Chains A and B, each alone.
Chain A
């Protein structure tokens, strides 16, 4: 009962941000429907101080196609590292369609977690529960 209450209360107050150039990525809708009502998606980050970033506790970063506005050489990986450096208390999770390779491993040391883009909703939800 206590654990459930705790998760329910986390759902109502945890802000989750997806940074993904694919605006129709439905996992946002799925998480909202599961009760993580403060989940939103932005295409890219214009400033590390922008409000969506500042407010969010958990930030999912696609490793491809983002990080361009801030000119990161390694795109999403660069952005994820920069976010973790600036906000060490936030949970930064990288996700991607890339199979695990060297690049992925380097960034893994810096961020909090990683997940494959084609993970099912249960996996996304588990990850969010772990880090909320």
Chain B
């Protein structure tokens, strides 16, 4: 074992594999190098400095315990690596900062939307009136346009779900695998919980959503599955042809017992060579980009990754033979997205 901690001339720890309790023991000694015993095991530690950079090392290697010179020679190599380690550290820090900034930016935007949904129905001024009767004033405002009030509530619910997707993206950058708890859920119910928040968007676009009745259940992690379905539905809303139907079916194969959820729609054409690419992060389809409707390109990649943790895959069947030029010269075709459980 050979553990070390490197602190550069700016006092920044750019690399450290020494556990803090072990470091505490070493720092109690003022010696530059010493043979010590911890829990009946012999070690040697060594403290080196050069050009303001400090390296602390500890080892149970027999040769290095025997000879301080040997240990110092091994550690001096690390001084040559400091610059590249510093660069790697700064790059990692920079990347982490970018991810945090993006998360905060997106959460602030969603928070802004929610704030405005609330106050567009019940202005802040209503509560400023010192006279009692705030309940009556609030009720009066809601009753003056109950449809708008209910739409606001649905939009707030959507923004809340969208916040989960943002936090999911951030969490994956910390560690690839999310916390998964598989529990039996009725698929129809879970789908409806996500579709709920999109009904205003579907109504705006004249899209009729048909979900087949089903009591089929399967084991999923509710949180990650919801986020995955959110991305699929968000993608659907963006690219589905206005005034067309979205047919969602939950099917169990009678022979294999395998369950599938299919999303059948008429939506923006996906070119043949793009089918796999649209699952790549950052990629948006050519037609989508030409129609200026592409987003960050992250949604389907996340959906696929999250569905994997739920023992399912995500596929697209693009029916090119149905492609037709439609409104504003956009090309629409029948596309079927499928979630297939293993």
Give the interface of A toward B (CB within 8 A).
Answer: 22, 25-27, 29-30, 33-34, 97-99, 116-122
Contact = CB atoms under 8 A, between A and B. Distances in A.
A122 B125 CA distance: 9
Given A26-B117, A30-B120, A97-B106, A118 B101 contact: no
Interface in B90-143: 101, 104-106, 108-109, 111-113, 115-117, 119-120, 123-125
Interface residues of chain A: helix, strand, loop or mixed (majority): loop
A24 to B, nearest CB: 8
A26 B105 contact: no
Interface of B: 101, 104-106, 108-109, 111-113, 115-117, 119-120, 123-125
B104 A117 contact: no
A97 B109 contact: yes
Contacts of A30: 116, 119-120, 123
B112 A117 contact: yes
Contacts of B108: 97, 99, 116-118
A118 B120 contact: no
Contacts, number: 49
Nearest to A122: B124
Contacts of A34: 123, 125
Contact of B105 (A33, A97, A120, A122): A97
A124 to B, nearest CB: 9
A106 B116 CA distance: 28
Given A97-B108, A99-B101, A120 B115 contact: yes
A27 to B, nearest CB: 6
A26 B113 contact: yes
A118 B106 contact: no
Nearest to A29: B120
B112 A98 contact: no
A42 B142 CA distance: 28
Contacts of B105: 97-99
6 contacts: A30-B120, A34-B123, A97-B104, A99-B101, A121-B124, A122-B124
Interface centre among A26, A29, A116 (most CB of B within 10 A): A26
Contacts of A119: 112
Contact of A120 (B101, B113, B119): B119
Contacts of A120: 115, 119, 124
B123 A33 contact: yes
A98 B108 CA distance: 8
A48 B305 CA distance: 44
A117 B113 CA distance: 9
Given A116-B108, A117-B112, A118-B115, 20 more contacts: A25-B113, A25-B116, A26-B116, A27-B116, A30-B119, A30-B123, A33-B120, A33-B123, A34-B123, A34-B125, A97-B105, A97-B109, A98-B105, A99-B101, A99-B105, A120-B115, A121-B115, A121-B116, A121-B123, A122-B124
Contacts of A22: 109
A121 B101 contact: no
Nearest to A30: B120
A97 B112 contact: yes
A116 B117 CA distance: 16
Contacts of B123: 30, 33-34, 121
Contact of B111 (A26, A33, A118): A118
A62 B297 CA distance: 22
B98 to A, nearest CB: 12
Contacts of A98: 101, 105
A29 B116 CA distance: 9
